[in-house]
């Protein structure tokens, strides 16, 4: 059963979407609405809009939209019921005692509990006889006991049933253990076995302190060296960061982005608690946007090997797109942070601090990497170098920044700054052309409807689709017109499948005296909810008159009553006469 309507209305009233979103986004007023940089994707120009009149939001950049419940679902990675609970707690409200489906919320709770119990088990194993090899590994890597305890590090022994048996003894079902990705079903179908074995374990903790996943490093030469929890109902690998729960509490607006768990832990032990790492994958856009929430600057501290350099180049692009200032650390002798800090003994922390302070920004880093590839004594190499530099500078949006670096390059090569800027301008035109081609292809894709999962049939008949969208928006903004609209538009006349579903849904809610938008975030998927609020807010700025309403109705009736050529060929004279009569009647 759904949540009570009165409860939802009060919940939204007490959690004004502008107040809630202001905790995540810097908002500015634009007319009746509020705008800001979208918290769900990287952007430099604000496309995130809050519509204060109906308590909704929509981003024209990434297409995410909804109400305050949807906003919390996206921001905190919660399901519907947990987002409602989050807002209820924020407003000091009690949840209804019953009458709603919280099965997913309960499942997540069990997974959190299973992960927490697994973390305790792994930690206890580390200090047992069976975990001696793991404890020795951590100590050999220079970790102090307080560091091991702080990160909750542990050990999974080589018995493939240890954790499963332990969790069963604590009351967990096999299905819950498998759903948490702590175990696999055996191929024989005769039970489950542990996912992790013979590995030192790194618990991954979310921003609310829940253990959501694990990373494990093998104690032998077997592959894979590192094994991570796959995505589960409480964990998305591409949307979380190791130790962000520690880093967010430092009060700093700078994050140190490391390559792996041990680098983060070593840097943390040296006194830099603002270090984070990705979870066995390359940096993603979601992780970059997440970092933007807690930082203005990111210092990339990857390994100096080829893989590390490629990862650095990819990270620079993603972090820049997210609006972050970037620095890149170059550690002497190509060491990783862990090795470097240990090599300096008692002065490791101070030495690492100096390295951070001497790090250059991402432009200087890329120019330096480019220069290192060429022999500056050869004319052709100098030409190749300046052309590559022009490509780098063309990616800078600030003209003054481009000029400063152009002056530096001209001084290095003893050529005029104007020559460098001409090359930059040429690259800018090329990149602008490529961007426009990409935008055109994106528009073509949208017009074709190939990527539209909600309304794949939306683009087949654009005339009637536009009329259906406008009619839905009119109905939602003028529920008092329900009887008039339904007397002229039967649900079967709505040709777009999803819009027909919406027409039935909203008519039923209005008929029963309910706020038509009140339960959208619970009754529809995130993508469907976004489309609903896109329609509502896209048409809200138009002046909706009774004349425009009649135009929408006429278009829908005309399109419904049109006879296709093949229908005419197959129709009897009586059928055709009947169709003509319907058309005449619909316009009276």
What pLDDT, on a 0 to 100 scale, did the predictor assign at position 305? 80
What pLDDT, on a 0 to 100 scale, did the predictor assign at position 461? 82
- Answer yes or no: pTM beyond 0.85: no
Residue with tokens 């069990």: 110
What pLDDT, on a 0 to 100 scale, did the predictor assign at position 564? 45
Using DSSP's 3-state secondary structure scheme, residue 60 falls into coil
Strands in 56-59's sheet, in edge-to-edge order, are: 28-30, 33-36, 48-51, 56-59, 65-67
Mean pLDDT of 551-561: 90
What pLDDT, on a 0 to 100 scale, did the predictor assign at position 442? 62
What pLDDT, on a 0 to 100 scale, did the predictor assign at position 576? 56
Mean pLDDT of 296-322: 89
Q: Is the pLDDT of residue 35 over 80?
A: yes
Please provide the average confidence, as pLDDT, over all residues in the chain. Answer: 89
Q: What percent of the chain has pLDDT over 90?
A: 65
Alpha-carbon gap, residue 518 to 507, rounded angstroms: 14
Provide the CATH topology of domain 244-361.
Answer: Dna Topoisomerase Vi A Subunit; Chain: A, domain 2 (3.40.1360)
Domain boundaries, the chain: 5-91, 104-235, 244-361, 373-447, 462-586
Phi, psi of 276 (to 5 degrees): -140, 170
Question: pLDDT-derived band of residue 431, with 50, 70 and 90 as boundaries?
Answer: confident
Class of domain 462-586: mainly alpha
In sequence order, which ranges of 344-491 are alpha helices (DSSP H)?
A: 348-357, 362-371, 379-393, 399-413, 417-448, 462-477, 482-488
Sign of CA dihedral 227, 189, 111, 523: positive
Residue 207: count other Cβ atoms within 10 Å of its Cβ: 17
Tokens of residue 201, six digits: 């374990």
| Domains 5-91 and 462-586 agree in fold | no
Provide the CATH topology of domain 5-91.
Answer: DNA Primase; Chain A (3.90.580)
Question: pLDDT-derived band of residue 577, with 50, 70 and 90 as boundaries?
Answer: low
What pLDDT, on a 0 to 100 scale, did the predictor assign at position 450? 62
Query: Is the distance from CB of 302 to CB of 278 less than 8 angstroms?
Result: no
CA-based nearest residue to 59, from 452, 447, 537: 537
What pLDDT, on a 0 to 100 scale, did the predictor assign at position 445? 57
> For the segment 58-88, what is each residue's pLDDT rounded down to a tens digit?
998 888 999 999 999 999 988 899 999 999 9
> For the segment 342-399, what is each residue's pLDDT rounded down to a tens digit?
888 888 889 999 989 888 899 999 999 899 889 988 999 999 999 999 999 998 888 9
What pLDDT, on a 0 to 100 scale, did the predictor assign at position 189? 77
What pLDDT, on a 0 to 100 scale, did the predictor assign at position 358? 86
Query: Is the distance from CB of 263 to CB of 215 less than 8 angstroms?
Result: no
Question: pLDDT-derived band of residue 572, with 50, 70 and 90 as boundaries?
Answer: low
Query: Is the distance from CB of 468 to CB of 485 less than 8 angstroms?
Result: no
What pLDDT, on a 0 to 100 scale, did the predictor assign at position 104? 85
CATH superfamily, domain 104-235, is: DNA primase, catalytic core, N-terminal domain (3.90.980.10)
Over its C-alpha atoms, the chain yields an Rg (Å, rounded) of 30
Alpha-carbon gap, residue 363 to 372, rounded angstroms: 14
Cβ contacts of 35 within 8 Å, gap of 6 or more: 27, 28, 29, 46, 47, 48, 49, 50
């Amino acid at each position: 059963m759904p949540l009570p309507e009165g409860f939802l209305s009060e919940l939204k009233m007490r959690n004004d979407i502008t107040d809630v979103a202001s905790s995540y986004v810097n908002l500015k007023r634009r007319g009746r609405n509020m705008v800001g940089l979208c918290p769900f994707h990287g952007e430099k120009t604000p496309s995130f809009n809050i519509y204060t009149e109906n308590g909704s939001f929509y981003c024209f950049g990434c297409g995410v939209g909804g109400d305050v419940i949807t906003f919390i679902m996206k921001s905190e990675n919660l399901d519907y019921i947990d987002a409602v609970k989050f807002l209820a707690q924020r407003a000091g409200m009690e949840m209804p005692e019953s009458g709603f489906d919280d099965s997913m919320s309960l499942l997540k709770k069990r997974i959190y509990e299973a992960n927490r119990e697994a973390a305790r088990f792994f930690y206890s194993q580390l200090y047992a006889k069976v975990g001696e090899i793991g404890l020795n590994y951590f100590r050999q890597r220079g970790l102090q006991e307080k560091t091991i305890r702080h990160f909750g590090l542990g050990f999974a022994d080589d018995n493939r049933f240890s954790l499963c048996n332990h969790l069963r003894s604590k009351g967990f079902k096999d299905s819950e253990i498998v759903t948490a990705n702590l175990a696999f079903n055996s191929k024989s179908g005769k039970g489950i076995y542990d996912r992790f074995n013979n590995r030192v374990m790194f618990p991954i903790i979310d921003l609310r302190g829940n253990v959501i996943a694990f990373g494990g490093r093998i104690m032998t030469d077997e592959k894979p060296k590192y094994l991570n929890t796959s995505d589960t109902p409480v964990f998305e690998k591409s949307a979380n960061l190791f130790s962000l729960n520690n880093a967010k509490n430092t009060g700093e607006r700078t994050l140190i982005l490391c390559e792996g768990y041990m680098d983060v832990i070593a840097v943390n032990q040296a006194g830099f608690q603002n270090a984070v790492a990705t979870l066995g994958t390359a940096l993603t856009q979601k992780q970059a946007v997440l970092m933007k929430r807690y930082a203005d600057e990111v210092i990339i501290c990857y390994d100096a090997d080829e893989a590390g350099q490629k990862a650095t180049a990819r990270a620079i692009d993603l972090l820049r797109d997210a609006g972050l200032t970037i620095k890149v650390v170059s550690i002497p002798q190509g060491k990783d942070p862990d090795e470097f800090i240990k090599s300096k003994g008692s002065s490791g922390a101070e030495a690492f601090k100096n390295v951070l302070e001497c790090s250059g920004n991402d432009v200087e880093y890329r120019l330096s990497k480019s220069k290192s590839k060429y022999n500056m004594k050869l004319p052709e190499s100098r030409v190749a170098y300046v052309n590559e530099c022009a490509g780098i500078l063309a990616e800078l949006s600030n003209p003054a920044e481009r000029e400063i670096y152009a002056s530096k390059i001209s001084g290095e090569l003893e050529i005029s700054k104007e020559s460098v800027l001409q090359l930059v301008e040429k690259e800018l035109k090329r990149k602008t052309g490529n961007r426009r081609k990409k935008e055109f292809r994106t528009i073509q894709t949208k017009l074709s409807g190939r990527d539209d999962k909600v309304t794949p049939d939306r683009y087949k008949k654009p005339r009637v689709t536009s009329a259906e969208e406008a009619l839905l928006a009119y109905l939602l903004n003028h529920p008092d017109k329900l009887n008039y609209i339904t007397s002229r538009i039967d649900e079967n006349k709505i040709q777009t499948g999803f819009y027909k579903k919406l027409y039935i849904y909203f008519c039923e809610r209005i008929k029963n005296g309910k706020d038509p938008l009140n339960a959208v975030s619970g009754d529809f998927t995130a993508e469907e909810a976004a489309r609903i609020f896109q329609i509502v807010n896209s048409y809200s700025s138009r002046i909706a008159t009774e004349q425009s309403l009649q135009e929408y109705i006429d278009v829908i009736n005309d399109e419904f009553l049109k006879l296709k050529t093949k229908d005419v060929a197959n129709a009897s004279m009586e059928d055709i006469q009947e169709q003509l009569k319907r058309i005449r009647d619909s316009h009276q």
